[in-house]
Structures are given as C-alpha cells and as structure tokens.
Structure 1
Amino acid sequence: MSCVETIQNYAFRSIGIGERLLPKADFTLCDHFVLIGSGLIWNVYFAVLALCSGFFFATAVALARNSRLAILRKPAQWFIFVFRGSPLFIQFFIAYEALTLLPRNGLEIDLWFAQFTAETRWLTRAWAGALIVLFLNTSAYSAEIFYGALRSVPKGDLEAADAYGFTGWMKFRKIIWPTMLRLAWPAYTNEAIFLTHATTLVFFSSFPAWQQKGDALYYASYLADKTFNPFIPYPILAFYFVLLSLGIIGLFGLAYRRLNRHLPGTAGGRLRPRPFMVR
C-alpha cells in the first residue's frame, strides 16, 4: 500500500472515516505517522473544548474566590483545592465509576406538566466523560492563575477607573478583566500546554475507545505492540506534541501581543513561556 493510499484509508479513521480494520503487519513509517496523526484529532478535540469552556468558567471561579461573600468564596476555594490537590489520573477513574452508577435506561424526570427520560449512557464515553474531567481540571488550575492575577491588578488602575466614573460592569470590562488577562497570560499559556499533554491520559483512563477510535497514544501503543519496537511510534507521538506546543505558543503569543497593543515600544514584550519540570 502506497503512502497516498494509507492517508486516504487512515487519515480520519479515529473519527470513523476510512478503513474500519487496522493494519496487522508490514508497517511502514507512513503508517506510523498517519495512524498516530489520526488519533491526534481526539487530543486536539479534548484540548480545544476543555480550554475554551474552562476559560470562562475559570474566570467566574476566580471572581467568586476573590469575592467578599463567603457563600461564593468558600465553594470556589474548595473546588480549586480538590481538583488541584488530586491527581488527574485519579479524577478520570472516579468520574468514570460515578458516571457508570447512573441508570442504564436514563434518569426519569417527572415534572408536573410532563415526564421524560434523560439519556445518560453517553456520559461514559470518552468524548463526553473524559472531556468533563479535563474541563473541571483545567478550570481549577486556570482559576488559581486568574485569581493571582486579580490580586495583582494595580490599585492605581482601579483608582483611575473610579476617578473616571467607571463602576460595576464597565469597570470590570475595561480595567480589571483586561489587566488580569495581561498578567495571567504567560502562566495560562503554560497551563494550555500542560492540558494538551494531559489529554494523553485519556488512553490510560477507564473511558473506553469505542470501535478502536482512540487518541494518538492509543495508536502509538498499538503500533508498538505489533512491531515490538517502541522507538518509532513514541518519538513520532512526541514530535506531534512538540508541534502542538509550538502552535499553542504561537497562537497565545498573538493574543498576548493583542492584549499589550496599547503599551509603547518594547514595554509589551514578547510571550516567553518557560517550561516547568513539575506542574
């Protein structure tokens, strides 16, 4: 099979487009790149949706933690503590076991004007259940980053906003939120990279890969088992994630320059995310 045929047959196999059966033998370098690249679609899916939804939820949690009202502050503190204090791997297992306890036939919801059944089986699939866990996890880490940035907003900016008559929503939208994002963006970029790497843990979690439609690590593991040579698929997997990391740095760098567009000359600086050995 030529490389072009391999791309046609397996480029979108992870989402159900192309050949249903995986190749069994005579694996070429093209097979490795195409199959692992196909699985990468799911890693991008998990990362993009978890980050986009978690960004807004994290902002709300950070504001709640910064609130003077204990009824808002305490739940936010516990939410951040629980999801930052426990391993993501354990969160996957707990979530899966909890979701499987839901009735197989769905939840019966009886309202005074109607009765219907809410389907629950889809929550045990990786595309939904694992996404929920990643969403909650990145929301907790991002909320802590945003909370620190909120506490670092210069008081002079707030006093200037008061002097101009900004109150309530206008003050938050024009002063607090943009300043918070500028201060938090380098650390948030690192969180985006960490979350993208963490999507590989879905392979080890209890959430099943339905009909062999797994992520990039699923196909890398399959190829390593079939060829008895882990030194080809796993470096290819690492190569793909290095490219993803560079893409994230580039996109977030554009956003960072946009956030600092009002600063003169080099004052805005360039985004220089520094890798950390531990999260």
Structure 2
Amino acid sequence: MSCYQTLQDYAFRAFGYGERLLPRSDFTLCEQFTLIGSGLLWNIYFGVIAVTTGFVLANFLALGKNSKSAWARKPAEWFIFLFRGSPLFIQFFFAYFLFLSLKSVSSIFNPLSSAWAGALIVLFLNTAAYSAEILYGALRSIPKGDIEAADAYGLSGWTRFRRIEWPTMMRLAWPAYTNEAIFLFHATTLVFFSGFPAWQQKGDALYYANYFADKTFNPFVPYPILAFYFILLTLVIIAVFGRVNTWLNRHLPQSKRPKLKFKPNLIR
C-alpha cells in the first residue's frame, strides 16, 4: 500500500471516516504518522473548545473570587480549590461514573458518557479553575495608579472594568495563561486512559501511539512521533497566543513588551 493510499484510508479515521479496521501487521512509518496524526484531531477538538469556553468561565470566577460579597466569593473559591486541588485523572474517573449514573436516570444524559461531551466538560471545568486563579492574580496586581487615574477621569463600575481593569488584567495574565493553554492541550492525552472509552477505536493521538507500541513491542517509534506532533501543536499555540500578546501590548514601547516564555508544569 502506498503512502498516498494510507492517507486516504486513515487520515480521518479517528472521526469515523475511512478504513474501518486498523492495520494488524507490517506497520509502516506512514501508517503510524497518519493514524497518530488522525488521533491528534481529537486532542485539538478537546483543547480548542475547552480553552475558549473555559476562558469565559474563568473571568467570572476571577471576579467572583475578588468580590467583597461572600455569596460570590466563597463559591468561586471552593470551585477553584476543588479542581486545582484534585488530579485531572481522578476528575475524569469520577466524572465518567457520575455521567453513567445520570445515563441510567434519563436518556437525555447519554452523550455525557461519551468522550466528545463528558470529557470535554471535565477539561472545561478544570482549565476554568486554573485560568481563574491566573486571572485573579493579575486582577489583584493591577497598579493602583491605573485605578486612581480611572477615578480621576470619572470612570466607575462596568465602564472602569471594561476600559481599564479588564485590559490590564489580560496584559498581566496572558503569558501565564498561554502556559495553561499549552498544558491543557497536553492534558487531553489523558481522556482515553481515564475511563472514557474509545468507541470503535476512535481515539486520540496517544491512543494510536499506544496501539502501535503494543503491537510492535517498540515504543521508540510511535511515541517520538507523538512528541513530534505535540511539539508542532505547541509551536502553533505559542504563535497564536503570541500574536494576541502583541496586540494586548501594542501601546507599549517594543523594549517594554513582555515576552512569552514556555514554562511546563511538572505536576498538575
């Protein structure tokens, strides 16, 4: 089988398009690159949606934690503590069995036991908690001079937050938030190893890398391929977030614009 034919058969197999059966023997390098790359589409799906939706919730959580009202502050603090204080793997595990229980109550909950919905909810809540703590720290770090200047111009309430506090909070938090986004994409590899089943072998990049490692008894080919794909994905994320960072700091002199630095988390 040519590499072109392999691409036709397996390029979108992770989403159910193409050849139904996986190769069983005589694995070629092209097959491994194609199938692992196909599985990476799931990682991109989980990461993009979780980051974008989690960012919105994180803003509300950060404001809640910074609120003077205990009714807003305490729920935000406990939410952040719960999802930052427990391992993501355990969150996947318990969420899956919770969703299975809900599935037995009503068929409306059936999608939650599938990775595309259930695991996505866990990633959304997890990254919202971590991002909220980053945004909260940035919110508390806004220079007092900015607030005093806003007061001097008569800005208050929503207008002050929208025009002064929120843009400054974004500028301060963005480098750290970029690292959170990168780590979330890496964390998507836990989905199919934490309880949520891969239906009809439609798994992510790590699922297929593990498949080839088990079949060939040689992990030194599929896992470097997996690492290669995630390095490329990380470079794309850094480029996209770097453009946003440049836009957020467009009013500053070039020498004073903060640079993005990738600092991986060793423990989540």
Instruction: List per-residue Cα deviations over 1:39-71 (Å, max 9, x = no partner).
Output: 000000000000000001000000000000000
CA RMSD in angstroms comes to: 1.2
What is aligned with 1:181? Answer: 170
Cα distance in 2 for residues equivalent to 1:211 and 1:103? 20
What is aligned with 1:114? Answer: none
SS of 1:45 mapped into structure 2 = helix
SS of 2:102 mapped into structure 1 = coil
Instruction: List per-residue Cα deviations over 1:126-171 (Å, max 9, x = no partner).
Output: 0000000000100000000000000000111011111111122111
| Correspondence 1:1-279 to 2 at 5 A | 1-104=1-104, 106=106, 119-279=108-268
Q: Give the AA of the match of 2:15.
A: I
* Farther off after superposition, 27-36 or 167-176: 167-176
Which structure has the highest helix share of the two? 2
**TM-score, normalization by structure 1:** 0.93
Cα distance in 1 for residues equivalent to 2:65 and 2:230? 33
Unaligned runs of 5+ in 1: 107-117
SS of 2:18 mapped into structure 1 = coil
Q: Confirm or deny: 8 A CA contact 2:175 2:259 kept in the other structure.
A: no
* Farther off after superposition, 66-75 or 203-212: 203-212
Unaligned runs of 5+ in 2: none
**TM-score, normalization by structure 2:** 0.97
Shift of 1:10: 0.2
Shift of 1:264: 1.9
Q: Confirm or deny: 8 A CA contact 2:11 2:18 kept in the other structure.
A: yes
Kindly report structure 1 stretches of 4+ aligned residues shifted beyond 4 Å: none
* Farther off after superposition, 160-169 or 84-93: 160-169
Instruction: List per-residue Cα deviations over 1:207-252 (Å, max 9, x = no partner).
Output: 1111111000111111111111111001100111111111111111
Identity %: 68
Cα distance in 2 for residues equivalent to 1:70 and 1:217? 43
Q: Confirm or deny: 8 A CA contact 2:182 2:234 kept in the other structure.
A: yes
